[in-house]
Amino acid sequence: MEKILNYINGVLQEPSSKQYLDNYEPATGKVYSQVPDSDTQDVQQAIDAARAAFPAWSKTGLEERMMIMLKIADGIQNRFDEFVAAESKDNGKTLQLAAAMDIPRAISNFRFYASALQHFSAESHQTPGTAINYTLRQPIGVVGCISPWNLPLYLFSWKIAPALATGNCVVAKPSEITPYTAYLLSQVCIEAGLAKGVLNIIHGLGGKAGQAIIEHPEIKAISFTGGTETGKRIAATAAPMFKKLSLELGGKNPNLVFADCDFEETVKQSVRASFSNQGEICLCGSRIFIERSIYEKFKAAFVEQVKTLKVGDPNDAASNQGAIVSLAHKQKVLSYIQLATEEGGKILTGGHELKLEGRCADGYFIAPTVIEGLAYTCRTQQEEIFGPVVTLTPFDTEEEAITMANSVKYGLASSIWTNDLKRAHRIAEKIEAGIVWINCWLLRDLRTPFGGVKASGVGREGGFEAMKFFTEAKNICIKN
Ligand code: NDP
């Protein structure tokens, strides 16, 4: 069976323990490769390599740094189909989605930061008649990047690219549930001629390899995307060590539908926002609040469209939804559907797992599920499910909609559907979220700040925000 390898000091190598974990294909429920079960020894080697590489990499000319990052992007592009197949097989997402979103966006991340590093600049401040201050933006040193399983290469590259662009060396860990495209990326980095030690990729468990990265005193900054509970643990370890922290955590995003919206488009995009990637996107609009006057009409149209979604083999071009990422996650999602019925929810469609035939007979599939009749304060409407489950709730007034939207501990993203521009602006100001989409969902511009408030995280990624995170600002004051 194929063994995935760590990428340390420019070479692919086995974990020092020689221990491996099983890597499952969610669509079949079968083990198809082995992931290194790395430990502190591997992390130490990676950090040593990164420290050794830092002096040269941090002084590499901007054009040279840009060219190597473009080569990495081209390397992914040249092996596009292989990356797409690997992402789909590892995560359970459909081939179409991996080809339309994950892999193109990972390529864009490298291209974007390759170009951004040429334009990143620091401020200067004149104190009239007295002094001039200028700011140096210096790379931090060795940084840790840890990412989740839902958008594996896309989120991994969203961290690695700005960290490298600003002259840092990186020790990165993908989720051990979806390691394969990170492994392919390490091959691409070797092919592209990235200097040894600049990027190191360690595979393994969060509590072991991940924790070893977080705890290490030489890791000066940590960029983490994952669950809120894990984020809390990471902050508890890293904060007393005064590490810089960027935490992109969970969400329970509201989708506010007003009677004056463009109805057809709102229904279509709300289905997309609910069920893309099996609902396993931190930005998914999992709570839909609908103005009461169109509630029944919206519900009927929404459920009708959801019923047309085909859940099937991710390799099948006709499938709209693939498999849930793991058996444990499938069970978690099903337990929330059970909870919803206990809390008095009415299941309008779905509400159960699906058994497919043939190759996918043992895979992890759940029917897209729509629930109504739940109080907005109940657990189903307050906790992150992170699967193909969405709730519908009517509202009477704008104020009520805002209260319901802001009632959760999370504050990542939101959507507002209305043709009343004044109302859209008014609500956008009041919504507690890092991102507000008006008449759209997941429309992406790489220059914008990305991140959440409340339990959805600390700090922002994207554009120059990430480059600021991965640099230390040093003010230099020169007296006239
Ligand atoms: P987890 O928090 O379980 O894991 C995320 C990563 O952290 C994995 O690589 C994991 O490794 C690792 N990890 C776990 N424990 C530790 C530790 N103690 N120290 C260091 N690393 C650790 O999240 P999931 O992978 O389950 O991803 C789903 C979550 O991610 C959802 O809550 C979702 O909302 C959130 N998310 C947030 C996004 C955002 O931008 N705000 C975007 C995408 C997802 P391992 O896999 O081995 O446990």
Looking at residue 159, which CATH number applies to its domain? 3.40.605.10
Ligand 1 centroid distance, CA of 248 (Å): 9
Residue 155 and residue 71 in one domain: yes
Ligand 1 closest atom vs CA 173: 9
How many angstroms from the chain centroid is the CA of residue 95? 18
Q: For the segment 103-148, what is each residue's pLDDT rounded down to a tens digit?
A: 999 999 999 999 999 999 999 999 999 999 999 999 999 999 999 9
pLDDT at position 223: 98
For residue 242, the model assigns a pLDDT of 97
* CA distance readout (Å), 89 to 20, 163, 388: 19, 28, 19
Q: What is the pLDDT of residue 24?
A: 98
451 within a domain of the structure (yes/no): no
Please indicate whether residue 282 is annotated as part of the active site. yes
- From the alpha carbon of 329, which atom of ligand 1 is closest? 26
The residue ranges of the chain whose pLDDT is under 50 are none
Is 342 a member of any domain?
A: yes
Residue 304 lies in a domain: yes
Residue 209 domain-assigned (yes or no) = yes
Task: Tell whether 460 and 433 lie within a shared domain.
Answer: no
Catalytic residue among 282, 284, 384, 465: 282
Q: What confidence score (pLDDT) does residue 250 get? A: 97
Ligand 1 pocket, Cβ-based, cut-off 6 angstroms: 146-150, 155, 173, 175-177, 205-207, 210-211, 214, 225-227, 230, 233-234, 248-251, 282, 384, 386, 412, 452, 456-457
Decide if 383 is catalytic: no
Residue 450 within any structural domain of the chain: no
Tell me if 128 is assigned to some domain. yes
Tell me what pLDDT residue 170 has: 99
Which of 431, 426, 435, 480 lies closest to 461, judged by CA?
A: 435
Number of domains in the chain: 2
pLDDT, residue 291, reads: 98
* Whether residues 183 and 264 fall in one domain: no
- Quick one: pLDDT at residue 207? 97
Q: Tell me, yes or no, whether 83 and 193 share the same domain.
A: yes
What separation in Å is there between the alpha carbon of 148 and the centre of ligand 1?
A: 4
Q: Are residues 245 and 258 in the same domain?
A: no
> 245 with 373, same domain?
no
Give the model's pLDDT for residue 251.
97
Catalytic member of 248, 384, 432, 465: 248
Structural domain contains residue 116: yes
pLDDT at res. 469: 98
Residues 440 and 463 both lie in one domain: no
Domain around 29: 2-249+456-479
140 & 173 share domain: yes
Q: Are residues 265 and 173 in the same domain?
A: no
* 314 & 353 share domain: yes
> What are phi and psi for residue 379, nearest 5 degrees?
-60, -40
Note whether 65 and 128 are same-domain residues: yes
Does one domain contain both 384 and 461? no
CATH of residue 315: 3.40.309.10
Is there a domain that residue 341 lies in?
yes
